[in-house]
Amino acid sequence: MDDYPLLNLFWTMLELFVFILWFFLLFKIITDIFRSDDMGGWGKAGWTIFVILLPLIGVLVYLIARGSSMAQRDVDQMRKTDEAFQAYVRQAAAEGGGGTGGSHADQLAKLAELKNTGAISDDEFQKAKAKLLA
């Protein structure tokens, strides 16, 4: 380790950091290319080939040409994810939480409807009601 001065160690660490940062940026841009709805298949293929074959120039040109709309696509993706999550929460709450098939009031209403239509007897209705309320 005597042949490797401290300044060279810092320089190597900086190069490693920039290399890792470069990969993060490259993956972010490739993700943005495929997520973009305003580009067709040929446009996506062209940008992907350009970014992979000429990485430094391709990434810089992509950031100059389409960088301003990358943030908007990120916001749109987060909004879609949040809306999907909110819809799932509303659906789970409407179903009564644990997949029980609805709230007790809904189940009682279904039992009353079955009794009124004659599908179950009054005795069966009372037993099912007692079991549900227990």
Task: Tell whether 86 and 108 lie within a shared domain.
Answer: no
- The tokens of 65 are what? 């040409």
Task: Tell whether 128 and 64 lie within a shared domain.
Answer: no
CB-facing half-sphere around the CA of 43: CA atoms within 13 A? 12
Q: What is the pLDDT of residue 2?
A: 64
Taking residue 32's Cβ as centre, other Cβ atoms within 10 Å add up to: 20
Task: Tell whether 49 and 14 lie within a shared domain.
Answer: yes
- Rounded to the nearest 10 degrees, the angle between the axes of helix 41-53 and helix 55-94 is 130
pLDDT digits 0-9 by tens, 4-32: 788 888 999 999 999 999 889 999 999 99
- pLDDT band with cut points at 50, 70 and 90 for residue 132: confident
Q: What is the pLDDT of residue 51?
A: 92
Number of domains in the chain: 2
Q: What is the pLDDT of residue 128?
A: 83
Find out whether 103 and 96 touch, Cβ atoms under 8 Å.
Answer: yes
Is pLDDT at 100 greater than 70 in this prediction? no
Is pLDDT at 121 greater than 90 in this prediction? no
Closest CA to 23 of 51, 64, 62: 51
Taking residue 72's Cβ as centre, other Cβ atoms within 10 Å add up to: 9
Q: Tell me how many degrees the CA angle 47-62-24 measures, rounded to the nearest 5.
A: 95
- Residue 1 resides in a domain: no
Round the average pLDDT of the chain to a whole number and report it: 84
Task: Tell whether 12 and 48 lie within a shared domain.
Answer: yes
What's the whole-model pTM score?
A: 0.56
Find out whether 55 and 26 touch, Cβ atoms under 8 Å.
Answer: yes
